[in-house]
Structure 1
Amino acid sequence: MTDRTKEAIESGAHPIGTWISIGHPTVAEVNARLGLDFLVIDIEHTTINLETVEDMARAVDAAPGETDTVVRVPWNDPVRIKRVIDIGVAGIMVPMIGSAKEARDLVNALRYPPEGIRGIAGSRATGYGRNMEEYVTTANGSILTIAQIETEDGLDNVAEIANVDGIDALFVGPADLSGTLGMFAEWEREEFRDAVEHVIETGHEAGVPVGTLTVDLNDIESTVRDGFDFLIAGKDTTQMMESTERAIETYENALASSPVSDR
């Protein structure tokens, strides 16, 4: 576990990651070899279990380079969060944070007493107990903590959420945010654009970086222009499908323009 991505986000270095939803260490390792700053392993909307997350984190750590592992957990549940961070990942992303209280609950779940409620154990994060004392005394505040803003409550309370001590970054969840506003996937609709702008401006006023996800790589340039501070670019399943579709199309075009098609 490192705090490189946390430092990069907080310093305005505009780090880039990608989205991992295929639960296999090879997928994590291959992406970690590409020079990305971080990977986000999604366990909210996938069947990936904790043992697989641990193996994927090992694969990232073993790959050459300095890629960090961030995990998007299913909910703001201190038990789930505790079990994930005991693996020794660099960061946590939590969906649907809607109030300052929920943001404080998130921070508390990530910190050992007396600052929080995290239980102490000889986990992978502590070197299986060998580095427990050192880890426990230095871990608080070292784990990248990202609150997702994707509900009406989150929009209404974004200023209070951003000002909670320990929230390192906000993240606009575009699909859920557009859905909760009754305009799913209407990315260019004025009301949706205003909501996104509100989150970015409010985060910046509080000195808190704001990031988002773009599955369509053609949208990266416009996302940067919007003023986001970090980006999750692409998703493993989408990129695999698009690559295969391009291969099929290229093959079919080659056959159509080649004498072999006349045989």
Structure 2
Amino acid sequence: MELPKNRFKAALKEGRHQLGIWNSISGSTVPEAMAATGFDWVLIDTEHAMTEAHQVQPALQAIAGYPEVSAIVRPVSNDPAYIKRYLDMGAQTLMIPYVQNVEEARAAVTAMRYPPNGMRGMAGAVRAGRFGLIPDYLKRAEEELCLIVQVETIQAMEQLEDIASVDGVDGVFIGPADLSGSMGHPGDQGHPEVIAAIEDAFTRLKAIGVPSGILTLNEDFARRLMELGAGFTAVGLDLTSMMRDVRGLKARFSDG
């Protein structure tokens, strides 16, 4: 059996923009339904969501029913124990939150790789290696693993190029919510200073050839960042979309 191809990683390398959506509702039904809509990628969030580690594998299995859709998992933190578990479950792309400096980026890379290049613990019968049916999985796994690091504070932005250039980092996600707080504008992602900082980050990342990404519900801003060379953009979130539609439905009947 061959090592599964990471379509998301390949697309980033080829410069093909990847459009995504965020999954924060626990379980396998919602991520499966989101994959069915045809986005390029679905992110399974365990940082700002109630999704526990044991719920991630069923979500990955649900998304796998749509071969053209890539799954990304966001651990709760830059913790090698969680990174190891999600990789064993078959996640090929991880988004690591709150990476503040080069050392933390290197730590994430080390957690992603097997020895001698890293510290990922070895196990045989795991979903990632097709339960032992991929004979060279331990030697070749990192070929198809993709690491996205989140830069989301002013302090990290000052080291953006250094973080992005760490060997093993495949892309940088700019976290607009935490960045707004770090800049003294908590919750105001549309503040001109925050917008300018994000656009500057995308420009800087493009200049060094590192894919950039973001989650924004502002469609005009999303298109603006795509024009600046975004590699991957999430434009929706399941819970937010549900609340917007339900509130709209309620309002239409209340007005009547």
The one of 57, 62, 73 aligned to 1:59: 62
Tell me the C-alpha RMSD between the 2 structures.
1.7
Aligned mates of 1:218, 1:251 — CA distance in 2: 29
- Show the counterpart of 2:184: 182
1:206-239 deviation digits (Å, cap 9, x = unpaired): 2101010013446433343444221011000000
- Show the counterpart of 1:128: 131
Structure 1 residues 150-159 or 243-252, which shifts more?
243-252
- Show the counterpart of 1:220: 222
1:64-98 deviation digits (Å, cap 9, x = unpaired): 34111101111111111111111101200001111
- Asked whether 1:21 is paired with 2:61, we answer no
Distance 1:239 1:219, change over 3 A: farther
User: CA contact under 8 A between 1:162 and 1:208: conserved in structure 2?
Assistant: yes
For the pair shown, the structure with the greater C-alpha radius of gyration is 1
Give the letter for the 1:46 counterpart. A
The Cα of 1:58 is off from its aligned counterpart by: 0.7
Aligned mates of 2:133, 2:39 — CA distance in 1: 30
Q: How does 1:202-241 map to 2 (within 5 A)?
A: 202-217=204-219, 219-241=221-243
Gaps of 5+ in 1: 257-263
Gaps of 5+ in 2: none
Aligned mates of 1:26, 1:165 — CA distance in 2: 36
SS at match of 1:140: helix
Distance 1:195 1:141, change over 3 A: farther
In the superposition, the TM-score normalised over structure 1's length comes to 0.90
Aligned mates of 2:82, 2:37 — CA distance in 1: 30
The percentage of counterpart residues that share the same residue type is 35
Aligned mates of 2:191, 2:30 — CA distance in 1: 35
- Show the counterpart of 2:144: 142
User: CA contact under 8 A between 1:37 and 1:68: conserved in structure 2?
Assistant: yes
User: CA contact under 8 A between 2:75 and 2:82: conserved in structure 1?
Assistant: yes
Distance 1:141 1:161, change over 3 A: farther
- Show the counterpart of 1:192: 194
SS at match of 2:31: helix
The one of 74, 77, 80 aligned to 1:75: 77
Aligned mates of 2:253, 2:158 — CA distance in 1: 51
